[in-house]
Structure 1
């Protein structure tokens, strides 16, 4: 068998001589820092979920009807009559939510360890473009089942573009292809969700990984790996502080993959809707433009940004500020490499002010998710009594969370540009931590 594999390898190398060097560059000869921790599982898990979404999506399209008259029924047909169709659909819907879970954790790790700082600004920007395209991809996929929440969610979200002066009304009609979400909307969203955006997403992922492998991976210490002695010999080509990505980190990632798949399987087989967080109950009802759901809200992974829209217009009296706030909250993430000019990357060695600000930023994001999902409507009465004014409490809480979210970036700019940060000594080489 060894001779057979060697012969096959020689045959491939003769006809594609650049494949082996490419494999070595990005796998066996790509040296990653030796001190990766649990936070570094989420990049590979995001790639795993992307593959799951593409494969399950292909099978779903085989039985899906992208029309207003047939979309909802085709989804029910997949769930009830297609062999294993229910499993494929639940793998896809659960995968969508888990995709955002791992992406948000992956982004948080990048912020926590300063992976957006020089020389990795391009890696960060490409990652943020992936996040932006993923949001568009998820929104269009959310509309396709054509349940009642999908219909009204599409109407509300697309209508936000109507706040743009002069062109807003025409832009909304152009996006939907009609005055209300209808056949034209479904057809174009289906085409974008199935073909155009996945191609863009795959291209950005390849560019993201290529840019990462050009500058090397960051690590929990936030210092670049150094060349030097390895074992009992000197080899300037092999960093002493790094180990080959394959087989060491590929094997390590398999542990994370196993745990992740166990969690995903539990959700798929026992709690596929997760109490309405992964699949809303209103989406079990066919779209009806005459029956509005009691509460129109997007799926949970959009709710933090949707909450910003809700909070700002109620304070300033015009919806355009809310829309600008929503897009601004994402644009600030793109600008993070230039907002934070601190010399130290990792949170381990940064000042107390940064640690406090980062903690408040995470709590503000989670608070906005609670507002956007109306979770506070259940929580606040239990905490403060059933007779409280929920509108006033929601508005007060949401505006504080919004101020903290944007305040993080303002504080970070002042904290680093004005030299307020007092950092700890950074080690010259990567260290290992229990």
Structure 2
């Protein structure tokens, strides 16, 4: 979305900096007067909420790392020390732990919004793929962070998940075992394993921050998608980002943070597992090993397939398939609002993901196992069969002629839409 910046420095110092390093001009052009579709709804506010979530995780994580000891003998006690003896340590620890859950709540909503409104379609394929990469990095980082308290569930979750790589022995004999031992730093989960997980958990959020910058850059090149899925045609289709969307995003952020800190102060352990408040014991296996709630849909997919190697392939495939969504969907209409058949399949997909999340917390037997297999089948069928076929055979509903028409019910008067090419704010 090309537009000329109207930024003018007010002081001599500002002019001096603007001539040599025009950061203020860039920020003003991209985050103040940036032309944004006028019909964005509150589902679009989760992009800004995610940036705030990432900042909270990085800041609280840095302070927590100053007191944490990455040792099997001291890790659990260092977390208790943070909770009991460090000033505001309980607040930092609970904010970081609850923040991880709220981060995933926001990113899953953001992802479903992108799927519903077709934000992955041309020319936003790179934008979508960077978003999926961020999700993958978040999953890896969160798994490593879950291991650090070194409680019973942390220890055994690390043991189970890292052992999945041993399935590669079925492809190349010895490869999986060697890879698992390399991850462990020995022949079992222990001190070297914890040190590696801690180091990577500290590093990866900064990698995520870098990819987020690329994600925002990729967003600002073609401009925002919108609920109609129609490209911006005239200046009347857009409004400046500030104050219109800074106010809207700010309000949504306040509501989100109210829920966030209500959980921090009143139910910080609501989303955790009680076994993680028991020190890790390699000689006592918990009766039911489950990961954090945001991993449960993928965990259900893993356990739905009786073959270990195929289960691991399905686990990684459940995320990898998201990279190819821009090419799997064959419909020329972006927004599902105008796709009556696909809309039903989409909401069934949402329910399927919720069902898989529930089944991931249950024992893999009986009806739970059967439902997990059916849910896994629909998950992959949605992307590999429904998206391509419905996109070809579906007849979409009529769409409005412009974004303005979708908002006001009528196009703008000719004097406000005439000669759009002469306006620098208009998308070319």
TM over 0.5: yes
For the 8 Å contact 2:151–2:277, the answer to whether it is kept is yes
- 1:113-144 residue CA offsets vs partner (Å, 9 max, x unmatched): 00000000000000000000111110111111
Structure 1 gaps, min length 5: 228-238, 378-389
- Change in 2 beyond 3 A, CA 1:307/1:5: same
- 1:212-239 residue CA offsets vs partner (Å, 9 max, x unmatched): 0001000000111112xxxxxxxxxxx2
For the 8 Å contact 1:56–1:92, the answer to whether it is kept is yes
For the 8 Å contact 2:330–2:389, the answer to whether it is kept is no
Q: Which of 308, 314, 335 matches 1:325? A: 314
State the partner residue of 2:245. 249
Shift of 1:5: 7.2
Question: Is 1:310 aligned to 2:303, yes or no?
Answer: yes
Q: Which has the higher contact order (CA 8 A, sep 6+)?
A: 2
Q: TM-score, normalised by structure 2?
A: 0.89
State the partner residue of 1:387. none
Most deviating of 206-215 and 249-258: 249-258
State the partner residue of 1:218. 225
Question: Is 1:282 aligned to 2:271, yes or no?
Answer: no
Q: Which of 55, 64, 67 matches 1:63? A: 67
CA distance in 2, matches of 1:28, 1:217: 15
Most deviating of 21-30 and 365-374: 21-30
Once the two structures are superposed, the pairs formed by residues 327-406 of structure 1 within 5 Å of their partners are 327-350=316-339, 352-374=340-362, 391-406=365-380
Most deviating of 321-330 and 98-107: 321-330
CA distance in 2, matches of 1:95, 1:433: 39
Shift of 1:66: 0.8
- 1:57-112 residue CA offsets vs partner (Å, 9 max, x unmatched): 01101100011111111000000111110000000000000000000000000000
Question: Is 1:268 aligned to 2:252, yes or no?
Answer: no
Question: Is 1:10 aligned to 2:15, yes or no?
Answer: yes
CA distance in 2, matches of 1:34, 1:53: 31
State the partner residue of 2:50. 46
For the 8 Å contact 1:344–1:426, the answer to whether it is kept is no
Shift of 1:391: 2.5
Shift of 1:150: 0.4
- Change in 2 beyond 3 A, CA 1:130/1:433: farther
- 1:345-395 residue CA offsets vs partner (Å, 9 max, x unmatched): 001111x32111111111111111001122xx7xxxxxxxxxxxx921111
Structure 2 gaps, min length 5: 1-8, 410-428
CA distance in 1, matches of 2:35, 2:19: 27
CA distance in 2, matches of 1:59, 1:347: 43
Question: Is 1:94 aligned to 2:67, yes or no?
Answer: no
State the partner residue of 2:397. 424
Question: Is 1:139 aligned to 2:143, yes or no?
Answer: yes
- The residue matched to 2:239 in structure 1 has which SS? strand
For the 8 Å contact 2:341–2:390, the answer to whether it is kept is no
CA distance in 1, matches of 2:316, 2:83: 36
- Change in 2 beyond 3 A, CA 1:146/1:6: same
- 1:153-177 residue CA offsets vs partner (Å, 9 max, x unmatched): 0010111111112211111111111
CA distance in 2, matches of 1:102, 1:414: 28
Q: TM-score, normalised by structure 1?
A: 0.88
Question: Is 1:208 aligned to 2:215, yes or no?
Answer: yes
- The residue matched to 1:335 in structure 2 has which SS? helix
CA distance in 2, matches of 1:255, 1:413: 35
- The residue matched to 2:105 in structure 1 has which SS? helix
- 1:328-356 residue CA offsets vs partner (Å, 9 max, x unmatched): 11111111001002100001111x32111
Question: Is 1:156 aligned to 2:156, yes or no?
Answer: no
CA distance in 2, matches of 1:414, 1:9: 53
Question: Is 1:412 aligned to 2:412, yes or no?
Answer: no
CA distance in 2, matches of 1:25, 1:168: 51
Once the two structures are superposed, the pairs formed by residues 57-136 of structure 1 within 5 Å of their partners are 57-136=61-140
CA distance in 1, matches of 2:379, 2:390: 18
Shift of 1:202: 1.1
CA distance in 1, matches of 2:111, 2:72: 36
Shift of 1:10: 3.5
